[in-house]
Structure 1
Amino acid sequence: MEYVIQQAINALSVGGEYALLALGLAIVFSIMNLVNFAHGELITLGGYAMFFAAATFVGNPVLLLPICVLTAVVAAMLFERIAFRPVRNAPATTGLLTAFGVSIVIQNALVIFVATRPKPVPVPSWMQGTMSFGGFNLPVVQILETGATVCAVAGLVLLLTRTNLGLAMRAAAKDFTVVRLMGIQANRVILGAFAVSGFLAGLAAVFILARRGAVDPLMGFTPVLKAFVACVLGGFGSLLGAAAGGLVLGILEVVLQATLPSDVAGFRDAIVFLLVGAALIWRPTGLLGTRAELGDKE
């Protein structure tokens, strides 16, 4: 029973991580129709901010956590202002190529000017411990990540339903032209969406670094790839679908890791993607996506 509970917490933790990143991708996509593949570099930049802060002026590891989140938020807003705003009215493929370009530039800049080897990042010691509940010992970082995901999703719901910025973002996701005709500034709405996506990426980065203990230039690639898969699985354009897709993907990974024989466990990701592909054959628009009638193909 203890093993089952630990694996359940692990599944919720991994799924929560993917959900945070998928929500960051989905909120930008819903407004700008842009798949921001530079989203993973927000994780990397947050990690390097923690590393340099610890090496220079911050002695308390607890203070590094808000530095990581704040760096991701600022970096996301700079991405929007410098890279994505000039191509906002260009075709969608231009924005996609811009996102890839930003990702490649940052990765190579870190390789050239920092280092290719992982750099250790200090995290609070209490995040590495365990907590006892009814005789079960559970890792603190997994409990915190699950709780932080729930709080972040609840906060995002409140933002989108109780604030003027959130209502403007929801309206922009439906019809941006009408929103602009009503006098709402497009720059403010889009910048707000990128700030929210940066916050979610920074929050996920904290827990990724707590488990890894080190940062490297390519650290953000795999998480953002899996977050993209989670968005597709849940239904791109649906925030609820992105969160659900992230949880489902995390649960699949943990279940397969716990049940597959050791000689097959190395194919876990391939099996996960195969299952995702099968689900998309059944639901081409994602688990919570809306089906659009496009007519018969000639």
Structure 2
Amino acid sequence: MSNNNMTKNAIVVLAIGKKYEEILRSQKPQLEAYAARCNANLEIRTEPPDELNRGHLFTQKLLLPSLYIQYEWIAFLDLDIVISSIAPSIFDSIHPNKAFGAVIDQRKSRCFRMANKYWHRQERLNQTAVDLFYSEKGFKPHPKVKATINGGVWLCKPIEIAHIFKKFYEESVRNNQADYIYEEIPMSYLAHTNDQFFPLNPRFNKQVIYEIFKFGAPMYWICRIQKKINKRLEKYLGLGENYFISSCYRKFITQLLGKNYILHFSGNFPIPKNSKNTISKSSMSD
């Protein structure tokens, strides 16, 4: 699905399956508004990128540049995001000599370590060590690979990167290895080793979980209590796992939207409805 008017760039999202199609319905207005601000088409894919569905659905995202090769640049956005009213066009961030951009993980930061230790309950060394992280996933250490990325938001030039990603995917299928749960691992590794990677402004993919730990213990405990309440509401009343959202959390999200371009709610953090400082149709011409 796309807009009728062909432009040189596109915003791409995946909404495969009933759950994500329902999420798309609530997210579509902001996606349309942001695509208009970027003077880009909005491409919504509701079928697996691999028609034969041979690999893990996340791994199939490696095929997206090939599917949208007609565009000069595409920007992929996860559905668990909120776009700020101050967000500029992501296509203003393209690199003239590179073909894949994403926000670099701050693996050595305190908030990264704290989030993995206290929220994800993971405290292994490879959570912060880049070489060990890649090697555990089957990728050999490489001098050009000095960082990892988050795949919630990325920008690419299909004509330059599509064949690299597709070749890796097809080889993985042949070797029965196309089951990476997180597509950002091969994407990052391939872009780095092929000299095509450039870092994206962190404000284009500000992950809420790390901002919570940057804020401190009070917000952590608010989110913990909020999560426990929602689990019980889901279990006993069927109200949905993100039904209850505290006023403190809402205020926190509003403040983040006032300083960042795209908030990413990875880790299943609740997305407040009708938050202030979000993009809307009224700002489409900004």
* TM-score bucket of the superposed structures, by smaller chain: under 0.3
With structure 2 as the length reference, what TM-score do the two structures score?
0.28
Richer in strand (by share): 2
Choose between structure 1 and 2 for higher RCO, CA contacts under 8 A separated by at least 6 residues: 1
Higher helix share: 1
- Please report the TM-score for the alignment, with normalisation by the length of structure 1: 0.27
